[in-house]
Amino acid sequence: MSVILAENLSKMYPVAVKEPGLKGTALHFFKRTYRQVKAVQTISFSIEPGEVVGFLGANGAGKTTTLKMLTGLIHPSEGRINVAGYVPFQRKSAFLQKITLVMGQKQQLIWDLPALDSLRINAAVYGISDRDFKTRVGELTEMLSLHGKLNQPVRKLSLGERMKAELLAALVHQPQVLFLDEPTLGLDVNAQVSVREFLREYNQRYQATVLLTSHYMADITALCQRVLVIHEGQLIYDGSLDGLVDRFAPCREVNVELARPHPAEKLSLYGDLESVEGTIAKFLVPQERLTRTVAKLLSELEVIDLSVTEPPIEEVIGRVLRSGVAS
């Protein structure tokens, strides 16, 4: 049974329209008119228990709006949602016990107090016993390498330590479903790696379901085998990362170092010649012709070195988001 189910989910916002000038201001004040902006348009997907799914899209594509509907912060205009057996916007206590939402640009810890004080407040809100609280904080502190940090005022923690403490606060009630919106935003490389490792370990240890949005593709490639891609409010891809690469970047890059230079006219017979500099040639070859092309290069030319690479995932995702098409 799916732990997250969205069917024909849509969200529209009324936006006031104002004409320029004094007349427009008067009309806007006394007789306001609106246009409907579609933030999310009839998207459907399901996520199974324990999955870690990346949610990708450009700024304004509808990612955060979707997360807010899934967590019950806003009501959908159309469609049906079920998360962990509950309708999110009803905001039932049992539902809130099963989910958490972490937003990289927002904080819940009290700035001037030690993080441990904020954690105790969360424990009281969720009705966690002192024994369970001590056990859970101990486990998460070890997983996040926060020993000796929780008794310091939050303002004295580094950005990376603060983000880890925010994660601890969001997970102290052991939620079943994690909605993570840019959890590594603004962190340095080492802190990003640390947060990714923690999320991987948390998923494996507790079999938590994770829906992750991030502009850092390293977060997605490190944690997610499946991705959802949203463009202008519409879901344009739902599948594996490898499948997205195969579908949208069907060519592979073949780099060849030859024993001696060859004219470009001759080399272009082996494939789409992207560049040639002296004895170094670079080809773009469709995947279905890759084996045959490589065999031909090795048999007909004196090759010193040959490598085959896939296009960087950042480049592939960038193409998808720019075009709005993943087919």
* Chain segment 237-270, per-residue pLDDT in tens: 999 988 887 777 778 889 999 999 999 999 999 9
Domain with CATH 3.30.70 in the chain: 250-309
- Token pair belonging to 61: 């594509």
Strand partners, 188: none
Query: Residue 19: which pLDDT band, with cuts at 50, 70 and 90?
Result: confident
- Token pair belonging to 204: 């494996």
pLDDT at position 326: 56
Across 165-184, average pLDDT: 94
pLDDT at position 60: 86
The three-class DSSP label of residue 308 is strand
Of the chain, the percentage scoring pLDDT greater than 70 comes to 97
Give the DSSP letter of residue 114.
Answer: B
pLDDT at position 324: 62
CATH number corresponding to 4-245: 3.40.50.300
CB contact burial 165-181 (16+ within 10 A = b; e otherwise): bbbbbbbbbbbbbbbbb
Give the DSSP letter of residue 97.
Answer: H
Neighbouring C-beta atoms of residue 148, cutoff 10 Å = 7
Across 167-186, average pLDDT: 93
Q: For 70-123, what is each residue's pLDDT tens digit?
A: 999 999 999 999 999 999 999 999 999 999 999 877 888 999 999 999 999 999
pLDDT at position 215: 81
CATH assignment of 250-309, given 3.50.50, 3.40.50, 3.30.70, 2.60.40?
3.30.70
CA separation for the pair 178, 52 (Å, rounded): 9
Residue 246, CA atoms < 13 Å, CB-side half-sphere: 7
CA separation for the pair 102, 82 (Å, rounded): 19
Strand partners, 256: 281, 306
Q: Which long-range contacts (CB under 8 A, 24 or more apart) does 273-279 make?
A: 279/304
Domain with CATH 3.40.50.300 in the chain: 4-245
Query: Residue 323: which pLDDT band, with cuts at 50, 70 and 90?
Result: low
pLDDT at position 8: 96
Least Cα distance to 104 among 192, 188, 183 occurs for 183
